[in-house]
Amino acid sequence: MWAMARMFCESRRIWFRGILLPVCFYSAALSAECEDGQAASVDAAIHALEDANPAIRGDAVERLAHRPEPRSVAALIEALKDENPEVRRKAAEALRGGKDASAAAALIDTLNDGDPTVRWSAAAALGSAGRVDVLETALRGREPLVRRGVARALGYVADPAATGILLDALNDASPEVREAAAASLGAIRNRAAMPALAQALNDTDPSVRWEAAVALDGLKEPAAARPLIDAFEDSEVGFRAKLTQALLDIGEPAVDPLIEALRARDSDVRSGALETLGRLGPAAVERLIARSGDSDPVLRGRVAEALAEIGRPAVGSLVAALRDPDWRVRSEAASTLGRIEDPRAGEALRALARESAPLAAALPEWIAKAESGSELRLIEALSILGSADMARIFLNCGNPDLVEAGRRWLEDHGQEASAKRGKLGKALLWGGLDKSG
């Protein structure tokens, strides 16, 4: 029948004028044979693999793919050596999912094909067949291109049993193999791979670092937060964006490590942590406010910056923090609200200002009275209406809480926390006035 179809084409002088019509007539001939239940269709397809036209050879491969009998498999294995890469690619795809040992061996050899699409199809075919044992053998002692294809194929298997093999491949001398191993570990999503993937964030090759970050993003493992944050030292913008996304996907468990990273010496780490906290938004607000009373002025400033970066979503919690039992938290909340443009923030601060104005105006009298509990109100006045002079009065008054509040205010405003006197020229002492000044 194939001969008849060819004669028909030749009689109309169109055999060598194109590809589409010969393929159509060939397909029609084989379809007729299939409908007749003729086993000769396999023979015709195998015969067509010797045709000079690569399109016909490719169509024959596709036909054989639906006939998993031994002679079809043998013909497809032979087609893996075809001179045309598209035919080879189709042959690799046709062998996908098969369990034939000779086909697996041929596909492993094809992982070294000169065409990347053929290599990829061979890897996919091996992976879909679940041949972890065959792939493990192929991953050792072969050319880097083959090892890379095998490492990729193990990702298609997505079998946790392949984790150990891929962890070894993360130490391969070839960066391409390490990249493929990281990508496949990401596909498998085995938490046991987390430490090795975290280490791979420091790989010398940027592609390996990228795939490691992608894999860790898929794991969403809280323990990965710290190495992801440390990797912000890499200045590549796209990679930093991937790190940020991985941390966002970890979510609230990443907040505390991110806050600690605000202390980092490396500016890229600090900026990455700050940006991520800002994007975490409400999930980070309460933890940030809780840390706003820290004794480290540098951290306090960066916490305030992070809250200001979050902006309006943080206002409600910051307003509530104005009544926190810890005056340090109240003070920082007031300071941070002043940096956020929101009607609620302005209203809360104005209300506090009205309450604090009388205390600020009569500051010497309040310090002289030294009434128990008045320290908290005085500190609130400093937070809302304070100035460097008021802070230095506190610093020199002798009351431990006011001394600390004055020092913190000066530190947070970038001024020297020294014993320099204010405009009064005298030290207002808690419980009396120093006449010696």
Q: Give, as one character, the DSSP assignment of residue 434.
A: -
At position 273, the amino acid (one-letter code) is A
pLDDT band at 330 (very low <50, low <70, confident <90, very high): confident
Q: Give the span between the Cα atoms of 15 and 68, in whole angstroms.
A: 31
Burial of 297 (0-12, 13-18, 19+ CB in 10 A): middle
Average pLDDT, the chain: 84
> Residue range 103-126: average pLDDT?
83
Question: What is the pLDDT at residue 39?
Answer: 58
pLDDT band at 434 (very low <50, low <70, confident <90, very high): low
Q: Give the span between the Cα atoms of 40 and 370, in whole angstroms.
A: 108
At position 78, the amino acid (one-letter code) is E
Measure the N-to-C terminal CA separation of the chain; round to a whole number of Å.
Answer: 118
pLDDT tens digits, one per residue of 150-206? 888 888 777 888 899 899 999 999 999 999 999 999 999 999 999 999 999 999 999
**Lowest mean pLDDT across 18-32, 53-67, 174-188, 228-242:** 18-32
Question: What is the pLDDT at residue 217?
Answer: 95
1.25.10.10, 1.20.1440.230, 2.40.50.100, 1.10.730.10: CATH of 132-219: 1.25.10.10
Helices and strands per DSSP (H, E), number in the chain: 27, 2
Q: Give, as one character, the DSSP assignment of residue 95.
A: T
At position 334, the amino acid (one-letter code) is A
Burial of 242 (0-12, 13-18, 19+ CB in 10 A): buried
**φ, ψ dihedrals at 104, nearest 5°:** -60, -45
Burial of 40 (0-12, 13-18, 19+ CB in 10 A): middle
Residue 408 near residue 386 (C-beta atoms within 8 A): no
Residue 215 near residue 183 (C-beta atoms within 8 A): yes
Token duo for residue 195: 């430490």
Q: Give the span between the Cα atoms of 135 and 150, in whole angstroms.
A: 6
| Helical segments of 80-191, H only | 85-94, 101-110, 116-128, 132-138, 144-157, 163-169, 175-188
Other CB atoms within 10 A of residue 41 CB: 22
> Residue range 415-435: average pLDDT?
67
Angle at which helices 388-396 and 400-412 cross, to 10°: 150
Question: What is the pLDDT at residue 14?
Answer: 36
Q: Give the span between the Cα atoms of 176 and 183, in whole angstroms.
A: 11
> Residue range 249-278: average pLDDT?
94
Give the SS3 label for residue 433: strand
Token duo for residue 1: 């029948």
Place of tokens 């913008």: 237
Residue 170 near residue 200 (C-beta atoms within 8 A): yes
How do the domains of the chain map onto residue ranges?
A: 132-219
Instruction: Characterize 385-412 residue by residue with b for buried, 16 or more Cβ atoms within 10 angstroms of its Cβ, and e for exposed.
Output: bbebebbbbbbbbbbebbbbbbbbbbbb
> Residue range 220-229: average pLDDT?
95
Give the SS3 label for residue 397: coil
